[in-house]
A = this chain, B = another copy of it.
Amino acid sequence: MTLQQLRAVCEIVANNYNISRAAIALHASQPAVSKMLASLERELGAGIFVRTKGRLTGLTEFGGNVCLLARRMLHDATSLADMAADCFSQESGHLRIAATHLHARYAVLKAVKSFARAYPNVGVEITQANPAVVVELVAAGETQLGVTTLPNAIPDQVLTLPAHKVERCVITPFAHPLLELKKIGLHEIVKYPMVAYDHAFVSGRAVQEVFERQGLRPRIVLKATGADVVKAAVVAGLGIAIFQTMAVDPEEDKGLAIIEARHLFPSSQAHIILRRGQYLRRFTYDFIARLAPEWTQKKIEARLSAR
């Protein structure tokens, strides 16, 4: 039994039972992967994949178990390599992060800025995805950490550390009637035309529900999917918008006025997602500290070992 053979099995599964694609992912020729699989199945004396009409179409029951154990073994192998890298030069390697668009754009990017200066030899990769996929990527070990609001289902392979809160505010052009008020409420906001996130976005839906619960129907003049588009629309005077406070900066966003509205809209909690049993490089802990200073290495290790 070889780690390479197990790698082949996992990669074949990850590529929809297509040996050719798996071969590409493994930087190997297609027959080589075919033989890795064949030799492993011969050694174990049991089929791992279901073959129909000369193609792989699925895992046998046994194959499913193989896959689970193989994944764990391969994760352990990378943990070993990571640990080793930490022993001498802790300053080179790769840090892969999965995050939802907003966190990637602001919280993560801000942390990366200072991190990249401190670790010039660490390559940082940010993958954008929705919350469920972020968690999956971390669970699969594709990325060392994730930053997202929590999706509905959380596999027990991952650990979630609450980080910063996402508060909401109202953004308006300069010189808007709302700016005159001492304290704003939903009824004032709904008087003015509004630029909104598309429904598909979690934050968009959360805001919409607040209005619905009060029986209010804001007049949406534009729906957009990008934060920058929404901002530009507000600056252009198309309407006001409900926005994540973290996503707007008085310095950068000239032409925008910000009205705190955390009392009106639910704040959501950003979480850092880690994979249980994954060895984290020192610089990964450092990165997390830049993202959420309250999560020191000691605290994280305590959480990882507990339960």
The verdict on A45 contacting B87 (CB below 8 Å), with A3-B1, A3-B3 known, is: yes
- Of A65-73, A106-114, A248-256, the one with at least 4 CB within 8 A of chain B: A65-73
- A contacts with B: majority SS: helix
6 further contact pairs, Cβ within 8 A, besides A46-B87, A46-B88: A44-B80, A44-B81, A45-B84, A62-B83, A62-B84, A73-B77
The verdict on A45 contacting B80 (CB below 8 Å), with A2-B3, A3-B1, A3-B3 known, is: no
Residues of the B chain whose Cβ atoms lie less than 8 Å from the Cβ of A301: none
Q: How far is the CB of A118 from chain B (nearest CB, A)?
A: 22
Is there a chain B Cβ closer than 8 Å to A20's Cβ?
A: no
Is there a chain B Cβ closer than 8 Å to A280's Cβ?
A: no
Is there a chain B Cβ closer than 8 Å to A128's Cβ?
A: no
Q: Which residues of A contact B (CB under 8 A)?
A: 1-3, 44-46, 62, 65-66, 69-70, 72-73, 76-77, 79-81, 83-85, 87-88
Residues of the B chain whose Cβ atoms lie less than 8 Å from the Cβ of A46: 84, 87-88
A2 to B73, CA, bound (A): 11
Residues of the B chain whose Cβ atoms lie less than 8 Å from the Cβ of A66: 80, 83-84
A66 to B44, CA, bound (A): 26
Most buried by B among A44, A65, A73: A73
Q: How far is the CB of A43 from chain B (nearest CB, A)?
A: 8
Can you offer 14 A-B residue contacts whose CB atoms are under 8 A? A1-B77, A1-B80, A1-B81, A44-B84, A45-B85, A45-B87, A45-B88, A46-B84, A46-B87, A46-B88, A62-B84, A66-B80, A70-B80, A73-B76
A76 to B72, CA, bound (A): 8
Residues of the B chain whose Cβ atoms lie less than 8 Å from the Cβ of A88: 45-46
Residues of the B chain whose Cβ atoms lie less than 8 Å from the Cβ of A72: 72, 76
A84 to B62, CA, bound (A): 7
Residues of the B chain whose Cβ atoms lie less than 8 Å from the Cβ of A45: 84-85, 87-88
A44 to B85, CA, bound (A): 7
Q: How far is the CB of A30 from chain B (nearest CB, A)?
A: 24
Contact (Cβ within 8 A) B65 A69? no
Residues of the B chain whose Cβ atoms lie less than 8 Å from the Cβ of A44: 80-81, 84
A66 to B79, CA, bound (A): 9
Residues of the B chain whose Cβ atoms lie less than 8 Å from the Cβ of A79: 69
